[in-house]
């Protein structure tokens, strides 16, 4: 039985006040679900991670922290970058690699996504590696081929580096569903999640691999998505900016 993973990706949104509101909401609402049932992760902009981490610790909050991105490099003359080891020093437990916005707006390559993932593993930060097809690929009936092409470099590195069994997650985020209000149906997502598991299973064991869905997830559609056997959680953008909605999502 895989433990559910609910992760909120704030992207370039939020401020210190929102961080405090999240701590307050989780303290006040007392989520029915506990850490034994679900990992609840917030990924604020990196500048908030240190203070957020202190607050989470002092309030014993259910929340855990994730980073939205990480450097492909380990250290050196890379202005503006943040290394995986710096994240682990702040008790950041998770790191996103390869979000579609980074792949497209910042032209991140599959190799860079792999390097980020490996740096996260090396620093004991659990990677959440994102894949997702554009609408053109889905309409052309080529969604699985596209996803497979994104997965092969990741799975190859996992096998080659002996990372079998290490905790990680794959986030399936179809680009046409991200920020559009048009979520994949539970059946569409289930079918792709099962496919993702089957591709990775050619390289490593996938019994413990969490495959989570992202793309216009809200408290209204989360229950049906989460009921699917291969949907192990969600990566949430817009709805993760509202503390009440995020508490509701943690409780699904």
Subset of 96-115 contacting ligand 13P (CB under 6 A): 99
Sole residue written with tokens 């604020």:
44
Distances (CA, A) of 185 to 130, 218, 232: 18, 13, 15
193 carries an active-site annotation: no
User: Dihedral sign, CA of 37, 54, 26, 88?
Assistant: negative
Among 14, 214, 233, 243, binds ligand 13P (CB under 6 A): 214
Sole residue written with tokens 């009921």:
227
CA gap 97, 40 in Å, rounded: 18
Contact 129, 103 (CB under 8 A): no
Is 66 an interacting residue with respect to ligand 13P (CB under 6 A)?
A: no
Sole residue written with tokens 């690929």:
137
Is 233 an interacting residue with respect to ligand 13P (CB under 6 A)?
A: no
CA gap 169, 154 in Å, rounded: 12
CA gap 219, 238 in Å, rounded: 11
Among 212, 235, 247, 249, binds ligand 13P (CB under 6 A): 235
Output the smallest distance, CB 99 to ligand 13P, in A: 6
Q: Element (H or E) spanning 24, and its range?
A: helix 16-29
Is 173 an interacting residue with respect to ligand 13P (CB under 6 A)?
A: yes
Query: Could you report how far apart the first and last alpha carbons of the chain are, in Å?
Result: 17
Output the smallest distance, CB 175 to ligand 13P, in A: 9
Number of residues that bind ligand 13P (CB under 6 A): 14
173 carries an active-site annotation: yes
Sole residue written with tokens 């081929």:
145
At residue 2, the 3 state secondary structure works out as coil
- Give whichever of 42 and 178 is closer to ligand 13P, judged by the CB atom: 178
- Give whichever of 65 and 203 is closer to ligand 13P, judged by the CB atom: 65
58-66, 74-82, 204-212, 237-245 -> range binding ligand 13P (CB under 6 A): 237-245
Name the residue whose CB lies closest to ligand 13P.
Answer: 237
- Give whichever of 167 and 179 is closer to ligand 13P, judged by the CB atom: 179
Is 155 an interacting residue with respect to ligand 13P (CB under 6 A)?
A: no
Among 238, 242, 245, 246, binds ligand 13P (CB under 6 A): 238
* Residue among 99, 101, 133, 193 flagged as catalytic: 99
Among 41, 117, 178, 184, binds ligand 13P (CB under 6 A): 178
Sole residue written with tokens 């909050």:
61
Sole residue written with tokens 């090396």:
122
- Give whichever of 112 and 161 is closer to ligand 13P, judged by the CB atom: 112
CA gap 216, 67 in Å, rounded: 20
Among 45, 153, 167, 179, binds ligand 13P (CB under 6 A): 179
- Binding-site ranges for ligand 13P (CB under 6 A): 9, 99, 173, 178-179, 214-217, 235-239
* Catalytic residue annotation: 99, 173
């Amino acid at each position: 039985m895989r433990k559910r993973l609910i992760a909120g990706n704030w992207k370039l949104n939020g401020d210190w006040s929102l961080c405090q509101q999240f701590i307050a909401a989780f303290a006040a609402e007392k989520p029915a679900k506990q850490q034994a049932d679900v990992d609840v992760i917030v990924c604020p902009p990196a500048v908030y991670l240190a203070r957020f981490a202190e607050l989470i610790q002092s309030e014993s909050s259910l929340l855990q922290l994730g980073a939205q991105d990480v450097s492909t490099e380990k250290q050196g003359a890379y202005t503006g970058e943040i290394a995986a080891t710096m994240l682990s020093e702040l008790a950041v437990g998770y790191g996103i690699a390869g979000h579609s916005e980074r792949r497209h707006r910042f032209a991140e390559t599959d190799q860079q996504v792999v390097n980020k993932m490996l740096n996260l593993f090396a620093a004991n930060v659990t990677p959440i590696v994102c894949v997702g097809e554009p609408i053109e690929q889905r309409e052309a009936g080529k969604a699985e081929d596209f996803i497979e092409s994104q997965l092969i470099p990741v799975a190859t590195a996992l096998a080659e580096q002996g990372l079998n069994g290490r905790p990680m997650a794959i986030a399936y985020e179809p680009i046409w569903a991200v920020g559009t209000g048009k979520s994949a149906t539970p059946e569409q997502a289930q079918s792709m999640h099962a496919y993702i598991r089957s591709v990775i299973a050619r390289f490593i064991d996938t019994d413990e691999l969490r495959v989570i869905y992202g793309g216009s997830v809200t408290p209204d559609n989360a229950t049906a998505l989460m009921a699917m056997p291969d949907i192990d959680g969600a990566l949430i953008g817009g709805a993760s900016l509202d503390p009440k909605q995020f508490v509701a999502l943690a409780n699904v």
